[in-house]
Amino acid sequence: MANPLYDTLFGQHHGKHTPFLLLQDGDIITHAAFLKMAAQYAHLLAQLGLKPGDRAAVQIEKSPQALAVYAACAQTGIVFLPLNTAYTADEVTYFVEDSGARILLCDQNNAAGLAPVAKACGAVLETINEDGSGTFSAKAEALPETFDTVTRTEDDLAAFLYTSGTTGRSKGAMLTQGNLLSNARALVSEWQFTAKDVLLHALPIFHTHGLFVASNITLLAGGQMIFLPKFNLDVIIAHLPRATTMMGVPTFYTRLLGDPRFTKELASHMRLFVSGSAPLLAETHIEFEKRTGHKILERYGMTETNMNTSNPYSGERRAGTVGFPLPGIELKITDSKTGATLPQGDIGEIEVRGPNVFKGYWQMPEKTAEELRSDGFFITGDLGQIDSDGYLQIVGRNKDLIISGGYNIYPKEIELLLDQEDGVLESAVIGVPHPDFGESVVGIIVANGSAEPDLAAINANISKSLARFKQPQKLIILPELPRNTMGKVQKKALRDQFGGLFSA
């Protein structure tokens, strides 16, 4: 096959005037119209001087055009690098610099702020706005409607997704065409997706869940997506009766359960609800089944590996577990210190190996070696246990990570900023239970004695460089941080002390 990713997901739909994207305003984009747009974008990327293997950094709102940029990257062999639209210019600067992106695509509203970033990094700046307009789309309009797909192999890079690290420095996870395709194939088969499926798509498309899990498998199966810009309860409720499947983070499901309009009847056309990216509480699973008769199918994945495990489509979907390894993926529970495989039933580090596992972190061989063993097993940083029936349960994390509404937040990144603020000696950032987001960010500060820290000024300062969802919901001043005898900050003690802050 000349270009496995493009040919399998996109190329198979050439010439098909079948509905692909159903938009909130009622418009329908057919497969053929979508592929025409992608081909024009591919021409423009080539005209702008991008070559196969170059990176395209993309920070634009969710739209058919945004998805077409992904398709255009696949067709030209350019590495797609999507960025959270909440990231500040400071954050984007790092990603563009680190990846060496040759183009930065952004919204017109952010163009003035990002132009210096693009210039400093030697990248072209182009725009695509929420409504699809922009310099990039305007230039592409006059270009040919077909493009000679660039030859690639399954081992070639398809995307970089940045994932923060415990050191506070983000790492670009390099994903190959084969990583994405193997996972899409496994999931289509496991979750029985077909061309008849209509997926209610309200996730962002700059992360694994909304881009690779949701979009890739719909493309592979030839189905349709009700392609919504974001999760809005009224809109979801209005569109549910037309959908057959939905994917979401747990917040989607708790919000739906909080609405009396969400009834068994409303969900009667659905065949499957999938949850992931953060732990789904067993009580949500149970309440959801009581309300709708549907058992949410929970699966487990991450940026570096796509999906690793899934509850069964046909067998028992067990609340509080993430099911079994997907076909072709090996999973073991190991001792975090020695790496030795633990006996069944013990709690330990989850390690995975298979065609889904990424190639490594971009230009970070040491980080790659720390997490990706030479035998191919990836050390996930999640702690798990396998029950006697083989179901995997995630019991905790061996990494200092907060997951808020499905977004990952690494405390170190925030602590580094807090520590630089006037009057701050040191800080500790923790995640505490939150009724809507699952976990929420709290910053604990110790004063250095020079002056009482001005919390409002600190919040204002860090908001300049930190995306809104990472900013602490609350800052608290303590006389000192709890430490163990080795001097290590005891975050568990802080979580115990402040765990009730956001209780309903």
Binding segment for ligand MLC (CB under 6 A), chosen from 67-75, 201-209, 348-356, 476-484, is: 201-209
DSSP-derived pairing of the beta strands 360-361 and 198-201: unpaired
Q: Work out what residue 397 binds among ligand MLC, ligand AMP, none; the CB cut-off runs from 5 to 8 Å by kind.
A: ligand AMP
Among 10, 227, 252, 300, binds ligand AMP (CB under 6 A): 300
302 binds ligand AMP (CB under 6 A): yes
Least distance to ligand AMP, CB of residue 249, Å: 9
CB neighbour list of residue 409: distance below 8 Å, 6 or more residues apart: 164, 401, 402, 403, 431, 441, 469, 470
Q: Could you say which residues in the range 395-434 bind ligand AMP, by CB under 6 A? A: 397, 403, 408
Q: Among ligand AMP, ligand MLC, none, what does residue 469 contact (CB within 5–8 Å per kind)?
A: ligand MLC
Stretch of 76-84, 120-128, 275-283, 440-448 lying at the interface with ligand AMP (CB under 6 A): 275-283
Q: Nearest-CA neighbor of 69 among 55, 86, 89? A: 55
Helix, strand, coil % in the chain, rounded to nearest 5: 35, 25, 40
Least Å distance between CB 408 and ligand MLC? Answer: 6
Which is closer to ligand MLC, CB of 181 or CB of 256?
Answer: 256
Residue 319: name the closest of 285, 278, 351 by CA.
285
Return the range that interacts with ligand MLC (CB under 6 A); candidates 38-46, 118-126, 266-274, 301-309: 301-309
Asked if 382 touches ligand AMP (CB under 6 A), the answer is: yes
Rg of the chain, C-alpha, whole Å: 23
- The site partner of 231 among ligand AMP, ligand MLC, none (C-beta below 5 to 8 Å per kind) is ligand MLC
List 80's β-bridge partners, or say none.
Answer: 56, 159
Number of residues near ligand AMP (by CB under 6 A): 18
* Least distance to ligand MLC, CB of residue 251, Å: 4
Q: What residues numbered 193-232 form the site for ligand AMP, per CB under 6 A? A: 208
Tell me the residue number closest to ligand MLC, measured at CB. Answer: 405
| The one among 309, 404, 472, 481 contacting ligand MLC by CB under 6 A | 404
Q: Which residue in 124, 278, 441, 458 binds ligand AMP (CB under 6 A)?
A: 278
Measure CA of the first residue to CA of the last residue in the chain; give whole Å.
54
Contact 159, 80 (CB under 8 A): yes
Q: Under 8 Å CB-to-CB from 290, ≥6 apart: which residues?
A: none
Q: Give the helix ranges, DSSP H, for 258-410.
A: 282-292, 365-371
User: Of 62, 171, 201, 207, which lies in the binding site for ligand MLC, with binding defined by CB under 6 A?
Assistant: 207
Which of ligand MLC, ligand AMP, none does residue 209 bind to, with CB < 5 to 8 Å depending on kind? ligand MLC
| Nearer to ligand MLC among residue 54 and residue 298 (C-beta) | 298
DSSP-assigned beta bridge partners for residue 440: 432
Q: Is 27 exposed, middle or buried (0-12, 13-18, 19+ CB in 10 A)?
A: exposed
CA 152 to each of CA 1, 75, 356, 420, 469: distance values in angstroms, whole numbers, following the listed order: 8, 9, 18, 46, 37
- Measured from the CB atom, the residue of 42 and 184 that comes closer to ligand MLC is 184
Question: What does the buried/exposed string (b/e) look like for 41-79 if buried means 16 or more CB atoms within 10 Å of the residue's CB?
Answer: bbbbbbebebebebbbbbbbbbbbbbbbbbbbbbbbbbb
Among the listed residues 150, 50, 139, 162, the one whose alpha carbon sits nearest the alpha carbon of residue 102:
50
Binding residue for ligand MLC, selected from 40, 176, 224, 277, defined by CB under 6 A: 277
Report the distance separating Cα 207 and Cα 81, nearest Å.
Answer: 10
Q: Which does 382 bind (CB under 5 to 8 A by kind): ligand AMP, ligand MLC, none?
A: ligand AMP
| Stretch (H or E) spanning 383 | strand 378-386
Nearest approach, Cβ of 69 to ligand AMP (angstroms)?
A: 21
Question: Judged by CB under 6 A, does residue 468 bind ligand MLC?
Answer: yes
What does 249 interact with, of ligand AMP, ligand MLC, none (CB < 5 to 8 A by kind)? Answer: ligand MLC
Sole binder of ligand MLC in the list 3, 75, 99, 208 (CB under 6 A): 208
Q: Which residues touch 343 (CB under 8 Å, ≥6 apart)?
A: none
Based on the shown chain and the rule CB under 6 A, indicate whether residue 411 belongs to the binding site for ligand MLC. Answer: no
Helix (H) or strand (E) holding 404: strand 402-404
How far is Cα 173 from Cα 355, in angstroms, rounded to an integer?
15
Q: What angle do CA 483, 414, 369 make, to 5 degrees?
A: 85
In whole angstroms, the minimum distance from the beta carbon of 301 to ligand AMP comes to 6
Task: Pull the structure tokens for residue 447.
Answer: 């004063």
Residue among 39, 57, 198, 249 that touches ligand MLC (CB under 6 A): 249
Among 276, 348, 384, 453, binds ligand AMP (CB under 6 A): 276
Number of residues that bind ligand MLC (CB under 6 A): 22
User: What DSSP string describes 173-192?
Assistant: EEEEHHHHHHHHHHHHHHTT
Sites of contact with ligand AMP (CB under 6 A) = 163, 208, 276-279, 298, 300-303, 322, 380, 382, 394, 397, 403, 408
Sites of contact with ligand MLC (CB under 6 A) = 203-204, 207-210, 230-231, 249, 251, 276-277, 301-303, 404-407, 437, 468-469
